Amino acid sequence: MRRFTAALFLLGLGVMIAAIYQHIDFSNTAVNAGQAINAVAAEETGAANFVTSVVLAYRGIDTLLELTILFTAAMIGGMVLGRRRVDAPRDPDAGFILRTGADLLFPLLLVVGLYIILHGHLTPGGGFQGGVILAAAFFLPLLARPGITLIDQRVVSLVEGLAGATFIIIGLLAMFDGKEFLTPLLDKGELGALISAGTLPILYLAVGIKVGSELAGLLAHLAEAEALD
Amino acid sequence: MTALDYLLLISAITVVIALLAGNMRVGGWLVTILYALQGAALLMMSGLGYSTMTVVQSSLRFNVLSEQMLWRFDALSWFFALITIGAGLFCSWFASGEWGEKYRDNGGNLRLFHGALALNVFTMLVLLASGDLLTLFIGWELVSWASFLIMALAGGKAFDYAMRYISYAFAGAMALLGGLLLIYAEVGSFDFQSLKEAVPTMSSATLWTLVVLLTAGFGVKMAILPFHLWQAKAYAETPGPGAAFLGAISSRMGLFAFIVVVVQLIGISRLVEMEIPYTFLDAQDLLAWIAVFTIIIPTYIALRQHDARRLLAWHGVGQTGYMLLGIVIANDLGSAGGLMHVFNYASYQAMLFMAVVAVIHRTGTSDLNKLGGLFTRMPLSYLAMLIGIIGLAGLPPMNGFVSKWLIYRSLIVDGSPLLFIGAVIGTLGTILSVYKLIHNIFLGQLRVEHAAVREAPLSMVIPMMLLAAVVFVTGYFPGLVLDWTSAVQTSIGLPVLAHHLGGVSISGGLDMIWIVSVLLVGFGFGTLVFFLGGRSKRVHQLDNYAGGHFLTAETRYHYSDNFYPGLMHLIGPWYRNSFEWLERGLISAVDTLSTAMQGLYRNAHPSYLLLVAVVFALSWVIV
Amino acid sequence: MDILDNNTILYIAAFGLMLIGISGIVISNHLMRIIFGIALLEAGANLLLLLSTYHEGASAPIIVADNIPTMMADPVPQALVLTAIVIGVGILALALSLAIRVQRAYGTLDMREVRLKLEQEISDEAGIDMPSSSEKPDDIAKVPLNSVVQQESGS
Amino acid sequence: MSLLVLMIVLPLLTAFLLSSIDRLSTFAARVMGPLVLLATAAIGLSVWPQLGDAPLAVQWGGFQAPLGITLYADQFGLLFALAMTIGTLLLWPRSTENQLRSSSLALLLAGTGSGLALSGDLFNIYVFYELMTVVSYGLIASRGTSGSFASTLRYLVISGFGAALALAGIALVYQATGTLNLAQLAQLAPEKLNNLQGFAAFVLMLVGFGVKAELFPVNMWVPEVYATASSRVSALLAGVVSKLALLIIMRLLILVFHQPEALTVLLVLGILGVVSGELAAWRARDLNRMLAFSSIGQLGVMFIALSIPGNAGIFAALAVMVHHLFLKPSMFLLAERWGGSIKGLAGAAKTSPLGAALFVLLSLSLIGVPPLPGFWAKLLVIMPLLALDQPLYYFAAFVILAAASLEANYLFRVVMKLYEKEPAATPHNAHATLDLATAVFLGAGLVAAVFMLIPLADRLDGIAAQASDVSTYIQTVAPQPLQSGGVQ
C-alpha cells in the first residue's frame, strides 16, 4: 500500500512538473534588475564584486535579517539543548592525528577566514563564507578534544550581539546623516583597492564575525548536547 | 421624542431597574409598575390599534453600510406589543410577592430573573419596532438570546434544554440571515418597500429559496414541525412566571416576523403561484399542512406528558399551528382568527401556567401522578385553570372558541376539508389532554400530604383572576379584539373581516353575546333547578367507596396513572419519536464528520493533501 | 542531443532535487530523513532561483583590474541564494537540535510514534483521554435526548 | 529619511544587545524590551495620520527602486505593523525559565512583524517571513516541555516545506519578470505573469505563506502547537502573526496575481478550512485545541473573503481580520488557566466571574450576534458573496453560516460548563490579574467598536480602498523601468 501510494505520488508530481515545464517559457529575460545593478553598481557602491554590492548595499536589509535568523537560531538552539549536566558522559578524545591536525589548522583557518572576509568586496567570498571558515576554525579543536572550553558561550553571545549591533549602528549612522537606513557611507575609494567601497568592508567584517560566532556557538551547542545514554 | 421612543426608553429603564433593584422586596412591584408605564406609553399609540394612525416612527435611526436602520410601530407591532407588555405585566406581578421570596430563598437569583424578564420584553419591543430587514434580524437575535438567558436561569437540567434551544435558534437565525442577505443581493436594499416591489420580478427558484430559508428561520422560533423539539422542555424548565411569559408570547415573535416578511412583503398570493413540481400542491398548501401537523403531533405528545408544565408547553407548540394555519389561509376569517388566537392563547396560556406554578408553589410538584383533589384547597386556582382549559380547548363561552371558530370557518370557506379535519383532530387531542390536566391536579382524591395546602397568595391569585376576566370578556365580546385584528389586517394588506362587538357579521356569522347569554341563562337555570330541587347531599371529598368498600385516605384511589388506556392502546404505536431519531441522527452525523476531521489533522501529512490540491489545480488549469 | 542543452539539464536537476526532497518528506517517517528532505527541497529551490536568469558563458559579476567583461551574470539571484542558504543552515541546525531533544524525550524519531506520544502528552496535560478512544465529548452525548425517550415512553 | 524604519530596526538592535545589557543590569534588560516597543509604537502612531493622504515609500539604503529594497507604508500595512508591536507589548511573554531569551524573541517578533507588514519587495518578504517563522519556533519551544519541542519540530517540518516552495515560487516570478519589487511586478504582471507560470508561482507562494495563515492543507501544526505552547504565545500566533501572513497573500493578490483561478483556489481552500476547522472544533474536549481548530475555521472565512474579487473582498477580509485581531488573543488568554479539559471547567464562573462574562461576550461576537462587531464583519463577507451570483460563492456563504451554527453550539457548551452550578472535582485557579486585564482590555475594544461602528467602518473602508489602489502603489514607489543589456 505504502509503495503504491508513493508511486502514485511520484507519478502525480512528475506529471505536474512535466506540465509546468511544457507550459512555461524558460528562455531567460535579459531585462532584469540584476543587469541594471551591474550597470550602476561600480559607481554607486564602489565595490568590485557586484554580488557584495547586492548583498550589503542594495539588499543590505536582507542580510541584516539573515544575520538575525542565525542569531535567533543559535539562541533557540541554546535554549532547546540546554545546559549539559556536569556528570553527563562525553565522547572520547579523538586520536593523535586529528588533534595535531586541528592544532595546525587552527591558525591557518583563522587567517584564511579573515582574508576572505576582508576581500569580500573585491573577490568571490565575503562575510558569510569567511565566517563559516572562522567557525570551522573554532569547531575543529572541539571535535578533536571534546570537553575543552575553547570558546566561552558568554563571550560568544557578547560578540554576536555586538557584531549584529555594529551592523545596525552603521545603518543608523546614515540616518543621523539624514540619509536612509544602511546607506553606504565614507569615501568609495578606488575601484578594486582593498580600502574602498566605503562602509561595505566594515559591514562585511561585522557579518563575518557574527556568522562565525553564531555558527561556532550553534555547533558548540550541538557538540555539547548530552551524548545519548 | 415620539411615543415609540418613550416606550422603548421606559422598557430599557425597566431592564436597568430590574437588574438593580430586583433583589429587594419592593423591586418586583417597582418593575411591575414600570410595565404598567410601558402599557401607558403603548396606549399613547392606541390609534394604531383602531386604524386611526398608520405608523409611529422612532427618532432613533442609523446609517450603516449605506443603509438606513430605523424603528417604527404599525398596527401589527402594536397588537403584538400589547400582548407582550400585558404578559410581562402579569408575570412580573405574579412573581413579585411570595413567589419571588421563595425563589430567592431557594437560591435563585431574583435580580437576574426580573432582569431577564424585562430584557425579554425590551428585546421583543425592539423586534416589533423593526422598520427594515436589518433591524428585524438584529431584533430577532436579541430576542433569541434574551430568551436563552431566562431559560438557562434555573441551571441543571434547564441548561441542557437551553443549550438545545440555542443550537436550534442560532441555526435558524443563520438560515434567516442567509435569506435576508439573499434578499439584499437580489433587491439591493434592506428596505421593506423595495422588497415588496421586487417580489413580482423574482424568479420562482429565488422565491422558493427565500421562502424555505425564511420559514425555517422563523419556524424554529415558532417551533413548527420539524423544529419543534426544543420548545416544550425549555419552556417548562424556565422558572415559574418566566415559563408563563415565554409560553404566552415568546415564540409568537416567530409568527410576527413571518407575517411581516412572508405574508406582508412576499405575499400569500405569490406563494399560491409557486407550485411544487409533480404535485398539485403549492407553497401555501405546504405551509398549511406543516401547520396542521404542528397542531396534531405536539398535541398528542402533550397527551402523554405527566408533568403539568410540559403538558402545557407542548400545547404551546400545537396551538402555534392554529395561528399559522389561519394566517397562511389568509382570507378575512382565517387571518383574523390566527391573529386573534395569538391574543387569546397568550391570555389563557399565561393563566394556565400561573395556576400550575401556584400549585407547585404550594405543593412543590408538578407531577400529574402525585397531585389530585386540590379543588377544595385551592378553589381560585381551580377556577383559573377551568377557565383556561375551556379556552385552550376552544369551547364557548371563552375567547378560544371564537378564534378557533374563525379558523375552522375559514378552512371551510377556503374549501380545504382535509385541513379542517386535521385541525379538528388536534382539538380533540387538546380536549382530552386538558381534561387530564385539570382532573389530575384538582379533581378526585386529595392526597394525604396535601391536606394542609392553602390557596395561593393574593399576589398570585389576582393576576390569574384578571386574566380569567380577560379570557371571559373577550369571549363574550370578541369585537374588542377583532377591532385590533382588523387594524392589523388593514396594515398588512389582507382582506378585512367585517365584525361587530359580538362577533362576525357575515352570513352564517357568529354572535357571541347571543351565544354566551343563552349559555349563561341555561347554566343559571340548571343551577337554580339543582339548588331548588334540594335532591343533592353534600359528602366529604374523601368519602369514597369502591366495590362497596369504604376507602380510607391512605388508599390511593385517584385515577391518574395510565390515563386513557384504551386510546393509548389505539394510537400508542404511532409514537415513534421519529423526530428525536432524526435529531440524533444529525448529531451523530456531525460527530462522525468531526471525528474524521480531527483524524485528518492528527494523521494526514500536509504535503500529501497539498499535492492532491496542486495536481488537481494544475490539471484543471491545463484542461 | 539538441533537446538536452545545458539549460534543460540544469532545470531538470532543479526540479529533480525538489522532487526528491518532497518525496523524502512525504514518504519517509523518520524525522532525520524528513529534515534532509527539506534540505534537498531547499537546494532544489535555490538552484531554481539561480537558474532564473542564468546565461551560459556569462562571467562572474566582478570587475577585476578594470577589465569589464562583455557579459556578466546577474548578481541578484546569487545574493538571494546566499541569503537563502544561510537561512537554510540556521533552520537545519535548529531542526537538528529539536530532533535531539525529541529523541531524548520520546526515545524515537519515527514520525508516527512522535505524533502518538505528543498526542498522549497533550491529552494527559489537559486531563482527557486520547482522542482516538471512542468516548464522546461529555455534553454531546448529554443533549437531552435520552431523557426525551425515557419521559415519553414511560407515561 | 523616515523614522518608520526604526519600527523594524530598533527592536532588532535591542534584541541583539539584550543579553549584554542583562549582564550590566537585570532590571534594565527587563524593562528595555517593553520600552522600546512603546517607542516604536509611538513612532508608528505618529506616522499614521499622514499616511491617510498619501502612502509612503522608503528605499532601504537610499537605492532607487527596483534595485534596492522598498519599504512601502500605507495605512493597511501600518495598521498591522502597529498591531504586531502593540500586540507583542500586550502579550509580552512571561516565562520564568527563559525570560531573557523570550524577551529577545518577542522583540524580534515585533520588529519582524512590522517589517513584514511594510515590506515592498518579494524576496525581502520571504526573509522577513522566515525570520518570523524562526522566532515563532523559539517562542513555542520556550515553554520547555517535551511536547512543545515535538510540536515545534512538526511545525518546522511543515514550515520548512512551505518556505522552500515559496522560494521556488519567487524564482518563477523572477524568472518571468526579472524583478522582485512589488510595484514593478504590479506593472509587469498583466503582461508577464498572467499565464500558467504566474499561477504556479502563486500557488507555490500561497502554500508557503499559507503555513502561518493556517491555510487548509498546511495547517496541520495548528492544534498541536496551540495546545503545547504557552497561551500568550498561542495568542500572538493565532491573533496577530496569522494576520500578517494573510496580509502578504492579500498584497500579492492585489498587486501581482490577477488570475481568476487564483481566487478560486483561495475560495476552495478557504471553504475546506472552515469545514475542517469548525467540524474538528466541535468535538474537541480541551479548550486550547477547541480554540485552535476554531481559529483555523475563522482564518478560512478570511480566505473566503479574500477570494471575493474587487474592493469589497479586501474590505470584508480586513474587517474580519481586525475583528479577529481583538478577539482571538483575548480568548487564548482566558484559556491560560482554563486550558484543561472542558469537563473540568464546571463552575469556573464562580472563581473568575469576570473571565467567564468576557468569554460569553467574545463567544457572542465570534459567532456574529448583532450588534457586536463580529456580526457586521460576517455581514460584510456574506453580502458580496451572494451578490456574485455564482454557485461556488453561494456555497461558501452557506458554509460560513452553517459553521457559525456549529460554532455557537460548541462555544456555548463551554459557556454552559463555566456557569454550571456543581463545581468540578478539581478546583481551578482564578485568572492571573495581568492576563485578565489584557483580555478585558481587548474585549473592551470590541464593545467600544459597537459604539463607533460607523466611523470605524468608514476608516476600514478607506484603508481597504488605499490598499487595493494599485496605481497609487506604483506611483509612490516609482520604480525605474528596466533597461535591456546589462553591459556598459
What is the complex's ipTM, to 2 decimals? Answer: 0.88
Q: What is the DSSP string of A125-162?
A: --HHHHHHHHHHHHHHHHHHSTT--SS-HHHHHHHHHH
State which residue of chain A sits closest to B608, comparing Cα positions.
Answer: A9
Q: Which residues of C touch A33 (CB under 8 A)?
A: 76
* pLDDT value for A2: 60
- The three-point CA angle B135-B179-B594 to 5° equals 110
* pLDDT value for C1: 44
Do the chains contact at D282 and B590, CB–CB below 8 Å? yes
Could you say which DSSP state residue A47 is in? -
Q: Which chains touch D (3 or more CB pairs under 8 A)?
A: A, B, C
- Amino acid of residue B371: L
Q: Determine, yes or no, domain membership for B556.
A: no
Q: Which residues of D touch A180 (CB under 8 A)?
A: 1-2, 5, 58-62
* pLDDT value for A211: 87
Distance to chain A for D192, nearest Cα, Å? 11
**B610 shares a domain with B497:** no
Say how many C-beta atoms besides its own lie within 10 A of residue B520's C-beta.
Answer: 12
**B515 shares a domain with B607:** no
Average pLDDT over residues B362-387: 88
- Interfacial D residues in 233-262 facing A (CB < 8 Å): none
- Interfacial B residues in 553-612 facing C (CB < 8 Å): 575, 577, 580, 583-584, 587, 591, 598, 602-603, 605, 607-608, 611
The residue assigned the cell 398596527 is B75
State which residue of chain A sits closest to D18, comparing Cα positions.
Answer: A161
| Total beta-carbon pairs less than 8 A apart between chain A and chain D | 182
The band of B613, judged by pLDDT with boundaries at 50, 70 and 90, is low
Task: Locate the domains of chain C by residue range.
Answer: 6-56+72-154
Do the chains contact at D405 and B170, CB–CB below 8 Å? yes
* pLDDT value for B142: 93
Please indicate whether residue C8 or residue D236 has the higher confidence score (pLDDT): D236
**CA B346, CA B245: separation in Å to the nearest integer?**
9
The band of A21, judged by pLDDT with boundaries at 50, 70 and 90, is low
Distance to chain D for B484, nearest Cα, Å? 32
Average pLDDT over residues B486-497: 90
* pLDDT value for C134: 46
* pLDDT value for A229: 47
Beta-bridge mates of residue B30: none
Q: What are phi and psi of D77, to 5 degrees?
A: -65, -45
Q: Determine, yes or no, domain membership for B511.
A: yes
**CA B344, CA B405: separation in Å to the nearest integer?**
13
Say how many C-beta atoms besides its own lie within 10 A of residue B241's C-beta.
Answer: 30
* pLDDT value for C147: 38
Nearest to A167 by CA among A5, A29, A56: A56
Q: What is the DSSP string of B28-44?
A: HHHHHHHHHHHHHHHHH
Q: Given CB atoms, is A166 within the 8 Å cutoff of chain D? A: no
**CA B346, CA B333: separation in Å to the nearest integer?**
20
**CA D372, CA D448: separation in Å to the nearest integer?**
10
**B501 shares a domain with B364:** yes
pLDDT digits (tens, 9 = 90+) for A99-139: 888 888 989 999 999 999 888 888 888 888 899 898 888 88
Burial class (CB in 10 A: 0-12, 13-18, 19+), D150: buried
- Mean pLDDT in chain B? 87
Average pLDDT over residues B518-523: 91
CA dihedral sign, ordered A128, A131, A135, A136: positive
pLDDT digits (tens, 9 = 90+) for A47-56: 778 888 888 8
Least confident interval from B514-528, C5-19, D238-252: C5-19
Find out whether B339 and B327 touch, Cβ atoms under 8 Å.
yes
Residues of C with a Cβ under 8 Å from any B Cβ are: 22, 25-26, 115, 119, 131, 136, 139-140, 142-145, 147-149, 151-155
D156 has pLDDT over 90: yes
Residue C144: asked if its preceding bond is cis (omega within 30°), the reply is no
- With H, G, I as helix, E, B as strand and everything else as coil, classify residue B132: strand
Average pLDDT over residues D79-85: 93
Beta-bridge mates of residue D336: none
State which residue of chain A sits closest to C81, comparing Cα positions.
Answer: A55
Helices first, then strands: H and E counts in chain C: 6, 0
Beta-bridge mates of residue B499: B504
Please indicate whether residue C149 or residue B67 has the higher confidence score (pLDDT): B67
Distance to chain D for A75, nearest Cα, Å? 7
- Interfacial A residues in 1-40 facing D (CB < 8 Å): 20, 23-26, 28-40
* pLDDT value for D487: 39
Distances (CA, A) of D260 to A22, B547, C28, D194, D234: 21, 89, 36, 10, 34
Residue D371: asked if its preceding bond is cis (omega within 30°), the reply is yes
State which residue of chain A sits closest to C103, comparing Cα positions.
Answer: A228
Q: Given CB atoms, is B233 within the 8 Å cutoff of chain C? A: yes
* pLDDT value for D128: 94
Say how many C-beta atoms besides its own lie within 10 A of residue C108's C-beta.
Answer: 15
Least confident interval from A152-156, B74-78, B161-165, B180-184: A152-156
State which residue of chain D sits closest to A173, comparing Cα positions.
Answer: D61
Average pLDDT over residues D63-91: 90
- For helices B606-622 and A2-23, the axis angle rounded to 10 degrees is 40
Least confident interval from B211-215, D47-51, D425-429, D462-466: D425-429
- The three-point CA angle D197-D199-D201 to 5° equals 70
pLDDT digits (tens, 9 = 90+) for B419-446: 999 999 999 999 998 888 888 888 877 8
Say how many C-beta atoms besides its own lie within 10 A of residue B457's C-beta.
Answer: 15
Residue of C22, C102, C121 lying closest to D153 (CB–CB): C102
D22 has pLDDT over 80: yes
The band of D321, judged by pLDDT with boundaries at 50, 70 and 90, is very high
Containing structural domain, residue B380: 329-532
**B500 shares a domain with B616:** no
D295 has pLDDT over 90: yes
Residue of A59, A70, A192 lying closest to C65 (CB–CB): A192
Q: Per residue of chain C (155 residues), what is the pLDDT tens digit?
A: 456 677 778 888 888 888 888 878 877 888 898 999 999 999 999 998 888 887 777 777 877 766 667 777 888 888 899 999 989 988 998 999 899 888 888 888 888 888 888 888 888 887 776 655 444 444 444 444 433 333 333 33
**CA B33, CA B37: separation in Å to the nearest integer?**
6
Least confident interval from A35-44, B96-105, D372-381: A35-44
Q: What percent of chain A has pLDDT over 70?
A: 79
**CA B457, CA B471: separation in Å to the nearest integer?**
21
A158 has pLDDT over 80: yes
Distance to chain B for C148, nearest Cα, Å? 8
Nearest to D227 by CA among C109, C120, C139, C91: C120
* pLDDT value for B146: 93
Task: Locate the domains of chain D by residue range.
Answer: 272-474
Nearest to D269 by CA among B597, B613, B593, B605: B613
Beta-bridge mates of residue B545: B550
CA dihedral sign, ordered D273, D279, D282, D287: negative
* pLDDT value for B616: 63
Average pLDDT over residues B184-204: 88
- The three-point CA angle C61-C64-C65 to 5° equals 150
The band of D1, judged by pLDDT with boundaries at 50, 70 and 90, is low
As a dihedral over the C-alpha atoms of residue D199, residue D203, residue D206, residue D211, rounded to 10 degrees, the angle is -170
Distances (CA, A) of D67 to A55, C33, C76, D482: 12, 39, 9, 10
Cell triple for B327: 394566517
* pLDDT value for B118: 94
**B586 shares a domain with B495:** no
The band of B470, judged by pLDDT with boundaries at 50, 70 and 90, is very high
pTM, rounded to two decimals: 0.91
Q: Which chains touch C (3 or more CB pairs under 8 A)?
A: A, B, D
Query: How many domains does one find in chain B?
Result: 2
CA end-to-end span of chain B, whole Å?
66
The band of A23, judged by pLDDT with boundaries at 50, 70 and 90, is low
Q: Determine, yes or no, domain membership for B613.
A: yes
Say how many C-beta atoms besides its own lie within 10 A of residue D27's C-beta.
Answer: 10
Q: Which residues of C touch A3 (CB under 8 A)?
A: none
- With H, G, I as helix, E, B as strand and everything else as coil, classify residue D166: helix
Least confident interval from A14-18, B43-47, B138-142, D162-166: A14-18
Mutate to test the interface with C, among A24, A28, A226 (most CBs of C within 10 A): A28
When mean pLDDT is compared over A11-15, A157-161, B221-225, the highest value belongs to: B221-225
CA dihedral sign, ordered D284, D285, D286, D287: positive
Q: What percent of chain D has pLDDT over 70?
A: 96
Residue of C26, C147, C155 lying closest to B304 (CB–CB): C155
**B582 shares a domain with B436:** no
Least confident interval from B88-102, C113-127, D436-450: C113-127
Q: Given CB atoms, is D437 within the 8 Å cutoff of chain A? A: no
Find out whether B443 and B379 touch, Cβ atoms under 8 Å.
no
Q: What is the DSSP string of D228-285?
A: HS-HHHHHHIIIIIHHHHHHHHHHHHHHT---HHHHHHHHHHHHHHHHHHHHHHHT--
Do the chains contact at A19 and B608, CB–CB below 8 Å? no
pLDDT digits (tens, 9 = 90+) for D400-418: 999 999 999 999 988 988 8
- The three-point CA angle D476-D481-D485 to 5° equals 155
**B432 shares a domain with B335:** yes
**CA D113, CA B493: separation in Å to the nearest integer?**
60
pLDDT digits (tens, 9 = 90+) for B309-358: 999 999 989 999 999 999 998 888 899 999 999 999 999 999 999 999 99
Beta strands in D66-167 (DSSP E): 70-73
The band of B11, judged by pLDDT with boundaries at 50, 70 and 90, is very high
Q: Indicate the CATH number for domain C6-56+72-154.
A: 1.10.287.3510
Q: Determine, yes or no, domain membership for B253.
A: no
Average pLDDT over residues B75-81: 93
Q: Which residues of B touch D383 (CB under 8 A)?
A: 65, 181, 184-185
The band of B127, judged by pLDDT with boundaries at 50, 70 and 90, is very high
Q: Determine, yes or no, domain membership for B303.
A: no
* pLDDT value for D145: 86
Q: Which residues of B touch D364 (CB under 8 A)?
A: 145
Average pLDDT over residues D32-58: 89
**B584 shares a domain with B528:** no
